Structure 1
């Protein structure tokens, strides 16, 4: 086959590569981008230089030429510090632009993306769809955590403890002690939060070496799969096996099944929709979610859903074992990174512990673990995470609205005891444009409601997003259209009655249509300033239905 990089071998290009030590023979080989999100800012990415070295060696062994390039690295807890966290989701969409400007611009033949914290897996998947050159993702793994007096402590405990301390709750272990133990090495947050959810999604989509996720960061297993990926990508280039051949409608259904079965992060929905949008697909992830939600119960209870630790999930077979348990409801005809069908790839998959990863006929909880709601408060969509449906969290609620325009105002009300049983706390101005990029810290409100002992007696509704660590009470997030673009949530007033009914997939504000039509939406003046990249994001971001991609990046 004719390689893209060979057809672009102008004299000046060859001169540059000769100066880098490439031989004439090298110039005829597949050129592979090793996309490295290494960063000294965050422990999530701190180990990736070592992974890149292993991948590059494997690419050379397989007959390719690796080129390491660096891109944006978004870590929620570090790069979420400024602008109320707006750079968290906003940074996701920098990644495919960054990759395009290097990998596509250089007309390389394939790429391997070293993927880690929450926004790098979707950013890499979006870039793969956009460029549509042979691509594999290498899973960077999850961090180790510590113990205090024999009690396990990880980032979820610290996040929760920090909010509880602010509200005056007496803690078993101090926040200072937990800070020193919660993170004990490189990699992403332990637990089935957004990062590990997305790592499992990558495997369900067929975009990594089978068996890659989840994995302990810097383990021999992680490096072994990095080597396999470096070897495999060269063959994928020769086979011309591209992302759009792998990430089909069937693959997205398989990914939805994975998220539902592990009760993963609700953020996966918009990330999958964004990936489909980048490929120019008409796939409706919200419709897929409803379809698969009727088929897929919860089969594993990794924290924050239950007490299973991510290490136990990995040891039980991880994402591959979960796919094996789900086999009867999957599209096993889809092609995966090996070049085989998923059914062929799963033929020798094993389940190491059928209590940790249960079969369909013996679930932990009925599905769906995540549901899509619509109604007069959310005409387009809203998302509710149900988790383990054991009756401990309400699934219907009718209450009076208590409306807030900022996280700080809502926190002050909770601290002052102004949130009462029967209230529906409405936090708006947190959406794609209002946030912008869903910044604003809605997750803190959820933990604060729980710390105040009100999780079972109130509901929380927001047009913002939630951390994958969040699973408290009845919470409806990502209400669309958002308040900042005139959505009904922007017209809700204190005292309005809000009804939530998960069984009916409804969320409604019980105000006459005529009255709602007269009201002006609050927050359409964008109270949070956004300049530079965030300003460009606010001006160009599409709707939740697009997965929040920037309008001009959609490939139609």
Structure 2
């Protein structure tokens, strides 16, 4: 087998590599084997990563047994609950692209032949998929599982419930009480990502739907029997990919991306999957409008399961009912079953072995939980490139909202207005200038939404922002991630207090009802505050592309990769 990692033996580069690797205890006889990066995002900052080093030990053994030579490499890795403390949480989204670049530096720089990626918290899975598409060398994604939590252990709360309760108490002007502290101490009972269908578990399932993780990989209990089975199967699968020369761009196609969109719509996954899937498509060189796919397919993709925060079931229930594989099996009439997967089979061939829906946790196409989409992408004169709304299932409404704008330029300014009674029922609250460029890196508006809920305004006030909100927010009409954003000349920057705004979820539109001539005469948007970072966030502001491009850091990414 011709490998790009094997240099001509009598060259200085080959000799110096030999010197480095033999000194690490590698048998010289193994230096001709395919060389594999184990991409590890382990650190001590959060439970998400606490078990990854243990996985590396087993994975190295399995890879060596499969005839491969493994090298562990490390990258940056954020945890939304931990690394959101600095700069108002603005490091979270940029770290996705930083990780992608980390992988490129370590794997492409060393000219390794393949990689297996340990994906855990929210941004690691999209980063690993983006890197796979960019480098285009044989790759397997390993979803590393969700944490055992209080709700699944006869307790009262998981970490997301603790976050919501604590946030509301602080916004009400109270100190966090002893009950919430008790819940916090019992919320997380083991390693892994947050329970529920927030971004981490959603992206784990996306990796399987794309065909980039072995069948049955998500969701799984961290350090559980199914996770270890996934780890071992993934090592053998990677060896087969290297042998066959199958690459990510053979697997990540318009069809597989559309399959992943369908899956997310059918489970009401995280709204963050939209921009992440678009970024993966960009990096893999796939011409697909993920935003438009969510918008159009949302109207014809029924909801087949209802897992927290959308409904009563736990992610443990979803795993025990068959997980992503069973949901995909039920969705198969709506999918492209001929798409290739890392398993070496088509998606349809994989799903033949999946268990059927139980009718309780996972339902069939003929008997869905709902036909209303939980993720609604809207476009219109206020969001020509798209915006997103997360809705509860079933949706109690309203699905149409028209009212006058009240404009704010930060989350804090909006919260103060709620406290002062300046926001009234029927208003459309605008928080602008906090998007990808304006933020930079998309400021969070969840605290403002919680403040509205705390004052009983959650269903009577609509919210529109070019920032983002937590995946936990699915009440009221909240239109987030408006693009183009105010800071780059989007019409959101021209809105004035009192302007009439119309939001129609059934029609998929959000419109500013002001004549174009009047808008043209208004002064351009000027940010009222500018976050000074003197570091990576300034670089991000200068290089980030719009959400329509997945918020990647270049107009069109992608190295072709050399044949392994």
TM-score class normalised by the smaller sequence? over 0.9
- In structure 1, the partner of 2:228 is 223
* 1:540 paired residue among 540, 543, 547: 543
Measure how far apart 1:172 and its partner are: 10
| CA distance in 2: counterparts of 1:263 and 1:148, whole angstroms | 21
Measure how far apart 1:194 and its partner are: 0.7
- In structure 2, the partner of 1:70 is 74
* 1:454 paired residue among 437, 452, 457: 457
- In structure 2, the partner of 1:509 is 512
Q: Aligned pair 1:298/2:297, yes or no?
A: no
| CA distance in 2: counterparts of 1:420 and 1:525, whole angstroms | 24
Give the 3 Å change call, closer, same or farther, for CA 71–380 of structure 1 in structure 2: same
Q: Aligned pair 1:3/2:6, yes or no?
A: no
* 1:282 paired residue among 283, 287, 290: 287
Q: Aligned pair 1:190/2:195, yes or no?
A: yes
- Residues 335-356 of structure 1: per-residue CA shift (max 9 Å, x gap): 0011111111111110362211
- In structure 2, the partner of 1:412 is 416
The within-5 A match list for 1:72-471 is 72-146=76-150, 152-168=156-172, 174-351=179-356, 353-391=358-396, 393-438=397-442, 440-471=443-474
CA RMSD of aligned residues (A): 1.9
Measure how far apart 1:417 and its partner are: 3.2
Verify the 8 A CA contact 1:163 1:448 in the aligned structure 2: no
- Residues 458-502 of structure 1: per-residue CA shift (max 9 Å, x gap): 111110122222212111111011011121111111221111001
- In structure 2, the partner of 1:522 is 525
- In structure 1, the partner of 2:562 is none
Q: Aligned pair 1:554/2:557, yes or no?
A: yes
* Segment of structure 1 superposing worse, 5-14 or 39-48: 5-14
- Residues 311-333 of structure 1: per-residue CA shift (max 9 Å, x gap): 10111111111100101000000
| CA distance in 1: counterparts of 2:318 and 2:454, whole angstroms | 28
| CA distance in 2: counterparts of 1:148 and 1:328, whole angstroms | 33
Q: Aligned pair 1:475/2:478, yes or no?
A: yes
| CA distance in 1: counterparts of 2:100 and 2:530, whole angstroms | 28
Measure how far apart 1:234 and its partner are: 1.3
For structure 2, the residue ranges without an aligned partner over 5 or more in a row are 560-564
Verify the 8 A CA contact 2:402 2:501 in the aligned structure 1: yes
| CA distance in 1: counterparts of 2:295 and 2:224, whole angstroms | 37
* Segment of structure 1 superposing worse, 36-45 or 3-12: 3-12
Measure how far apart 1:147 and its partner are: 5.5
Verify the 8 A CA contact 1:312 1:356 in the aligned structure 2: yes
Give aligned pairs, total: 554
| CA distance in 2: counterparts of 1:469 and 1:423, whole angstroms | 23
Verify the 8 A CA contact 1:260 1:367 in the aligned structure 2: no
Measure how far apart 1:525 and its partner are: 6.9
Measure how far apart 1:380 and its partner are: 1.6
